Amino acid sequence: MLKILSYPLSTLYIISFGLLLVIFHPIQVVAFRLFGYEAHRRVVAFLNGGLMASTYILGTRYTITGKEHLPLGSAVILVANHQSMYDILPIIWRLRALHPKFVSKASLGKGIPSVSYNLRHGGSVLIRRNDPRQAVAAIGGLGAYIEKYKRCAVIFPEGTRSRDGKPKDFQTTGLKMLMRKAPSALLLPVTINESWKMVQWGQFPLGIGNHIKIQIHPALVQNGDLDAQITVLENTIKAAIIL
């Protein structure tokens, strides 16, 4: 019954999602070209707030705990598990004070209104997964960027989304590069739960009535022992995953 109901709701949601992307694209371009980074950042934040709100059509709810742990005014490496694209909307909107930037696959850098423009111009990096040298260099550039401007790099070390909520092992190369290039950055572990249920039936129809939970854990100061700290991050994140 839920799946049958999800067809018309998913259609409405997709129309809303697409309209927001199309409407905000020229606003982004104008904001970036005429008013610079800060205006563009605000437009992107409000876009993602709108995209997040559009998921209410599907009966989606969000709970974010631990916002008292957000380290404002510092470079931050936000490390999270990855369950679906619906991890990203609340991070950009609800954690916008951190100026989050993403490591994204190169294919997203063109052809998608609003999304591609933001990835190319908003401080995020695009990597080619079949070109490890390019990927590592791009991630290193992001690390240097957040170190200089005191912003936040978001990385999902599992490398790909979990389709059933079960966490995958961390791939540590990119995270280590970020840590080396941004040695002053605080390490912020974040656990995401239930967003995989949004795509439990695929991209259409979408899951309905889901409660996405994001738990922000206390940040860690880097101590130079990359392997040990990555283990702590991984264990902290995975211990809070609900299976």
- What is the pLDDT tens value at each position of the chain, 243 positions in all? 778 889 999 999 999 999 999 999 999 999 999 999 999 999 999 999 999 999 999 999 999 999 999 998 899 999 999 999 999 999 999 999 999 999 888 888 888 999 999 999 998 989 887 888 898 899 999 999 999 999 999 999 987 777 888 888 998 999 999 999 999 999 999 999 999 999 999 889 999 999 999 999 999 999 989 999 999 999 999 999 998
Residue type, position 119, single letter: L
Looking at residue 21, its amino acid is: L
Residues 210 and 56 sit within 8 Å (Cβ to Cβ): no
Domain extents in the chain: 2-239
Strand pairing class (152-155; 76-80): parallel
What is d(CA 116, CA 110) in angstroms, rounded to the nearest whole number?
Answer: 5
3-state secondary structure at position 87: helix
Q: What confidence score (pLDDT) does residue 106 get?
A: 86
> Are 146 and 185 in contact, with CB atoms under 8 Å apart?
yes
Query: Which pLDDT does position 130 carry in this prediction?
Result: 82
What per-residue confidence (pLDDT) applies to 33?
96
What pLDDT does residue 65 have? 96
Q: What is the pLDDT of residue 108?
A: 86
The amino acid present at 116, given as its one-letter code, is S
Contact 191, 217 (CB under 8 A): yes
In DSSP notation, 88-120 reads: HHHHHHHTGGG-EEEEEEGGGGSSSTTHHHHHH
Residue 34 phi/psi, 5-degree rounding, is -100, -30
The pLDDT of residue 127 is: 85
pLDDT of amino acid 139: 93
**What architecture does CATH give domain 2-239?**
3-Layer(aba) Sandwich (3.40)
| Residue 135 near residue 104, CB atoms below 8 Å | no
The pLDDT assigned to 39 comes to 95
Predicted local distance difference test score (pLDDT) of residue 3: 86
Residue 48 CB-half CA count within 13 A: 21
Asked if 43 and 199 touch (Cβ cutoff 8 Å), the reply is: no
Q: How many CB atoms lie within 10 A of CB 96?
A: 17
- pTM, entire model: 0.93
* Distance from C-alpha of 223 to C-alpha of 201, rounded to nearest angstrom: 43
Burial class (CB in 10 A: 0-12, 13-18, 19+), 184: exposed
Residue 223: Cβ within 10 Å count = 9
